[in-house]
Structure 1
Amino acid sequence: MSTEGLPMTVPAEGLPARVRIHEVGARDGLQNEKTAVPTAVKAEFIRRLAGAGLTTIEATSFVHPNWVPQLADAEELFPQVVGLDAALPVLVPNQRGLDRALALGAEYVAVFASATESFAKANLNRTLEESLAVFEPVVRRAKDEGVRVRGYVSMCFGDPWEGPVPLAQVARVCGALRDMGCDELSLGDTIGVATPGQVRALLALLNERGVPTDAIGVHFHDTYGQALANTLAALQHGVTTVDASAGGLGGCPYAKSATGNLATEDLVWMLHGLGIETGVDLGRLTATSVWMAEQLGRPSPSRTVRALSHKDQ
């Protein structure tokens, strides 16, 4: 990779000095692939992401293989990466998933809730209240075991069946997850319809309801090209945890209108241009996404990956 093509650094006032990128490419990015990705490729992907400086890499999901067949190799994959110098959160849908994760030494788990009834039924096959009731003992036991817990909240800004989601409804679900014991919440714009004003309004409401900004992460999809604008709005509010997927991989198998996640390279380009530290080597990260795109047999959708890799041709 070329060492050129780095953004000019011009800091802006009112932004965090450092952002922790919660890399989701190996889990959220690969769960929707049509063809099987070999376990060895997944493990190498995670190792390369860690080598690029990412310190939080979501490794896999301990969900039943019938629901997400692409992640059916969790027991085989996790031991291959567990020694890396990075936190390796894993998704656990229920007590059985938590059992499987704990048996392999997982120290960081996540549960996946919905802000809407329709998506809870589509994704979890339960009502919203039923899904929260399932998560409560999972979170409680994880905390008893000394494990860090993240609570994903999907459809925070819009739902393909219900349309715009009332902010108070999102705040209620977030409050329930915090009351259970979740250390951190990730606010998901699952179908990519949010705009910066919505982001600011939801963050302000969550603060009013007692959720501190340092317990909030954001997870934007780029369906309407708003992911970076929404991220900047969150940074201006003080958020310092941003979810992103190397190469812009991923979507959601239960929300067909969901396009790829915010590309990690696009995020890093913006953050480094603003003088915000990430610890990420953009050249190594781009090379990793180019390599992964070759394994998948298609170009990376990340604009930054395409721009930087084109310079080397």
Structure 2
Amino acid sequence: MFIPKKIEIIEVGPRDGLQNEPVAIPTEKKKELIVRLAKLGFSRMETTAFVHPKWVPQMSDSDEIARFCNELGLTYIALTPNLKALERAIEAKVPQIAVFIGASSAFNKKNINKTTVESLDECEQLFNKAKEEGIFIRAYISMAFFCPYQGEVTFEEVKTVSDRFIRLGADEIDIGDTNGQANPKIVYERFSRLRDLYPDTSFVGHFHDTRKMALVNSFAAIQAGITKFDSSVGGLGGCPYSPGATGNVATEELVDMLSRMGSETGIKYEEIEKVSRFAKSLSSK
């Protein structure tokens, strides 16, 4: 059994956790959540998204959140789905960006009205610009296991996106169980094959807890050699284009499991559990 000495947890609650909330959350409350999380010692956080407020109203304060994160001196990630969003992120001096593409073309069409191949072609200019600016690029592969619109997603579909991301110069690739339908067997096999094919690439696990398997899927990914994971305080989250998908793996639950296993995360369960209660109070669910 592989038990790594250290695992990085990337907190995604302020962005992925809150983006789907139907009732507007005041910017000051978001800032309070970010401050509380920052005090716990996360090395990185995903805090906002430069998206049109028509599509994701909860992220309409992205410029202000970015300024606030800069003032705090945080290493934070902002979602930039297109070149216009990247230009806004550059102006806001965002240190790390995230780009999403679905391994499933059916999902990608529902999400951004483009096929996976079309999205990959459009990514080239975005990656080049980000590299020119010295910005760290996190590349998400959404629906990397199963898709609500096409069913099972093949390894070849995931490999196609991985190949292109790597050629474009992604700094890390985040493999997403976006609708929470993965199981430990496919998780272990998929991450093992990816690591065999791309030994120099940094992969991240991103699991949703729709079927209450996010923790065991995280453990399966660890056994395949993955030592970076996204999580959301309070288990908040969801995807507007993935019917039935629930929140991300809860940060406090992941920290608890890892600490009991002897893996160091730099986060104390008792402290994150307190912040979890505050995060849940922001949710309308």
Place the TM-score, normalised by the shorter chain, in its bin.
over 0.9
CA deviation after TM superposition for structure 1 residue 211, in Å? 4.9
Aligned pair partner of 1:221 in 200, 205, 208: 208
% of aligned pairs identical? 41
Aligned pair partner of 2:111 in 98, 123, 136: 123
Larger radius of gyration: 1
TM-score by length of 2: 0.96
SS for the counterpart of 2:248 is coil
How many residues are paired up?
285
* Residues 207-257 of structure 1: per-residue CA shift (max 9 Å, x gap): 343254x51000001111111111111111211100100000000011122
Alignment pair present for 1:271 and 2:258: yes
CA deviation after TM superposition for structure 1 residue 297, in Å? 5.4
| 1:50/1:85 contact within 8 Å kept | no
* Residues 150-191 of structure 1: per-residue CA shift (max 9 Å, x gap): 000011010001111111111111111111111101100011
TM-score by length of 1: 0.88
| 1:112/1:154 contact within 8 Å kept | yes
Aligned pair partner of 2:87 in 94, 99, 113: 99
Match of 2:76 in 1: 88
Name the stretch that deviates more: 112-121 or 76-85.
76-85
Q: Partners in 2 of 1:42 and 1:281 — Cα distance?
A: 21
Match of 1:302 in 2: none
Match of 1:151 in 2: 139
| 1:54/1:86 contact within 8 Å kept | no
Q: Partners in 2 of 1:198 and 1:297 — Cα distance?
A: 33
| 1:171/1:205 contact within 8 Å kept | no
* Residues 3-38 of structure 1: per-residue CA shift (max 9 Å, x gap): xxxxxxxxxx52211011011100000000010001
CA deviation after TM superposition for structure 1 residue 285, in Å? 1.3
| 2:138/2:171 contact within 8 Å kept | yes
Matching of residues 209-288 of structure 1 within 5 Å: 209-212=197-200, 215-288=202-275
- In structure 2, stretches of 5+ residues that fail to align are none
Q: Partners in 1 of 2:65 and 2:187 — Cα distance?
A: 35
Q: Partners in 2 of 1:256 and 1:24 — Cα distance?
A: 20
Alignment pair present for 1:24 and 2:12: yes
SS for the counterpart of 2:141 is strand
| 1:157/1:189 contact within 8 Å kept | yes
Name the stretch that deviates more: 80-89 or 253-262.
80-89
SS for the counterpart of 1:178 is helix
Task: Name the aligned partner's letter for residue 116 of structure 2.
Answer: L
Task: Name the aligned partner's letter for residue 55 of structure 1.
Answer: S
In the TM superposition, structure 1's runs of 4+ consecutive aligned residues that sit over 6 Å from their partners are none
SS for the counterpart of 1:273 is helix
| 1:15/1:238 contact within 8 Å kept | no
CA deviation after TM superposition for structure 1 residue 204, in Å? 2.3
